[in-house]
């Protein structure tokens, strides 16, 4: 008597999953995954440079810096990917966004700042095939006189947008300056050894995130 067709389908799926896990855990599979993670690292740094270049033309932008984990040298850790986590294999850290500190002398046109960012990311995709979404680039607005954190550049195109996020206390007191419930700014994020200043209008200093060293592909 023939086995039911769906029984064989289950065996085929199990065999495919076994072969796929074996491939992922092979030296070639590990190297491929590491290379993908480093490529995304480069893409995020390219996005930081593209957005900073667009903001340099805006007179209210006093300075821009790359902050957070993307400003540091990459490191390896056991990832969230189940295959590698079960095997205890460390890969390059997975990055999910770009954090930029932006010192602004005027908060009157935050929507213009947002639109400039979005245009830069669209051009990066069209010209170089690098896809980084607008919500993956966070802009932390800083007071240029005190280095005090003021809020984050909102992703919405009007204020208030009528979303639950808009009901956080203080959000929208300055149009399109977003406050996040439970968020605590860490002033040490602006320490010299934890950030890369990409642009400083006062000194004329310009650096590129893409020039930061990275490990060679696996």
8 Å CB contact between 55 and 115: no
* Domain total in the chain: 1
Q: Is residue 200 part of a domain?
A: yes
**pLDDT given at position 83:** 85
> What domain range is 200 assigned to?
45-73+95-211
Residue 29 lies in a domain: no
Supply the pLDDT for residue 1: 47
SS3 letters for 19-68? Answer: HHHHHHHCHHHHHHHHHHHHHHHHHHHHHHHHHHHHHCCCCCEEEEEEEC
In a domain, 194, yes or no: yes
Q: What is the mean pLDDT of each run of 10 residues along the chain (218 residues)?
A: 54 62 79 91 96 97 96 89 86 93 97 98 96 97 97 94 91 95 94 95 96 78
The answer to whether position 192 is within a domain reads yes
- Residue 32 within any structural domain of the chain: no
Instruction: Tell whether 66 is covered by a domain.
Output: yes
Q: Is residue 127 in a domain?
A: yes
Q: What is the pLDDT of residue 58?
A: 97
80, part of any domain: no
């Amino acid at each position: 008597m023939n086995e039911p067709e769906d029984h064989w389908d289950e065996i085929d799926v199990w065999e495919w999953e076994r072969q796929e896990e074996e491939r992922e855990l092979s030296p070639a599979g590990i190297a491929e995954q590491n290379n993908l993670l480093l490529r995304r690292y480069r893409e995020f740094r390219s996005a930081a440079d593209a957005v900073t270049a667009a903001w340099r033309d805006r007179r209210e932008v006093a300075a821009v810096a790359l902050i957070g984990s993307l400003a540091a040298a990459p490191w390896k850790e056991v990832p969230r990917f189940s295959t590698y986590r079960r095997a205890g294999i460390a890969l390059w850290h997975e990055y999910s966004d770009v954090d930029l500190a932006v010192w602004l002398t005027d908060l009157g046109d935050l929507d213009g700042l947002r639109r400039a960012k979005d245009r830069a990311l669209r051009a990066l995709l069209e010209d170089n095939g690098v896809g980084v979404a607008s919500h993956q680039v966070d802009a932390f607005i800083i007071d240029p006189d005190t280095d005090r954190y003021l809020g984050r550049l909102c992703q919405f195109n009007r204020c208030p947008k009528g979303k639950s996020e808009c009901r956080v206390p203080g959000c929208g007191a300055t149009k399109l300056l977003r406050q996040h419930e439970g968020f605590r700014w860490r002033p040490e994020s602006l320490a010299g050894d934890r950030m890369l200043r990409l642009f400083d209008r006062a000194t004329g200093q310009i650096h590129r995130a893409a020039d930061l060293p990275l490990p060679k592909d696996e």
